[in-house]
Amino acid sequence: MAGGGSFLTLPMLIFIGLPPTVANGTNRVAIFMQNIMAVKKFHEFKVFPIRFSLMVTVPAVIGSLAGAYAATAIPDATFKKALAFIMIATTLATMLNPIEKLSSREISWGKGRWAIVILMFLAIGFYGGFVQAGVGFLILSAMVVAGFDLIHGNAVKVFVILIFTIFALVIFTIQGKVNYLWGAVLGVGNVTGAYLATVTAIKKGNRFVQKVVFVAIMIMAIKLLLN
């Protein structure tokens, strides 16, 4: 719903009893399933910048491997607290609509344009490998800064997430941090939730959905901190 779905699904996996780092790995199964369908759709509509996608995927994958390893190495209690703070900070940032503000500005690039893009996606990959939740927001922000519109930006986003999720999932699996049964169930739930969110957004508007998600995420973040 309204983006940042992992901010809802990841705490829920923790609340049903999965250790936080296992919940983090398990969530990747649903993300993988979800983004396969999304990539297919963008490819069908021919709005898929293949060359750029492949170029930025390489640093994103490298970053995600490091991030996933870091996520499996820290204690569960530490990860849970970090997740709560990330949820609050990213959700507040999202509500300020920085992507819309960035897209309305004329951005000039110097000779270091590609170096900046590579570094951005290396950092985004690390974040995505570490926690995943909210990474789509970061990729879209980077794409707007790179000069892409939101349609092509979303196409790159789902491709990059799909590929680095595969590599991150390998790390989590090797470390025994994935429950594939719950991951598959969550994947089906994601599809259902996306449909219901779309219907709700059409009937009541996207801002209504954003407000509902904002309240839900804040409640879950506080619960994570208090437990």
Please write the tens of the pLDDT for every residue from 77-122. Answer: 999 999 988 888 887 777 666 555 555 555 555 567 788 889 999 9
Q: Is residue 110 part of a domain?
A: yes
- Higher-confidence residue: 26 or 209? 26
- The confidence score (pLDDT) of residue 219 equals 75
Q: Taking 50 as the threshold, does the pLDDT of residue 61 lie above it?
A: yes
**pLDDT confidence of 2, banded at 50, 70, 90?**
very low
pLDDT tens digits for 157-184? 889 999 999 999 999 999 999 999 999 9
**pLDDT confidence of 62, banded at 50, 70, 90?**
very high
* Residue 80 CB contacts under 8 Å (≥ 6 apart), including other chains: 14, 20, 224, 227
Instruction: Find where tokens 């990841």 sit.
Output: 10
Domain coverage including residue 196: 6-226
DSSP letter string, 124-171:
HHHHHHHT-TTHHHHHHHHHHHTT--HHHHHHHHHHHHHHHHHHHHHH
Candidates 70, 65, 83, 64; CA nearest to 20 is 83
- Higher-confidence residue: 4 or 206? 4
Q: Is residue 175 part of a domain?
A: yes
CA atoms of 190 and 150, how far apart (whole Å): 22
- Higher-confidence residue: 154 or 106? 154
Average pLDDT, the chain: 82
Question: Per the structure block, which two tokens stand in for 105?
Answer: 């500005």
Q: Is residue 205 part of a domain?
A: yes
Q: Taking 50 as the threshold, does the pLDDT of residue 136 lie above it?
A: yes
Domain count, the chain: 1
What share of the chain has pLDDT > 70, as a percent? 80
Q: Is residue 1 part of a domain?
A: no
Please state the length of the chain: 227
Q: Is residue 32 part of a domain?
A: yes
- The confidence score (pLDDT) of residue 77 equals 92
- What's the mean pLDDT in 50-59? 92
Question: Per the structure block, which two tokens stand in for 34?
Answer: 């979800």
Distances (CA, A) of 15 to 12, 84, 104, 188, 205: 5, 13, 40, 19, 29
Q: What angle do CA 51, 53, 54 make, to 5 degrees?
A: 70
Question: pTM of this prediction?
Answer: 0.83
Q: Is residue 146 part of a domain?
A: yes
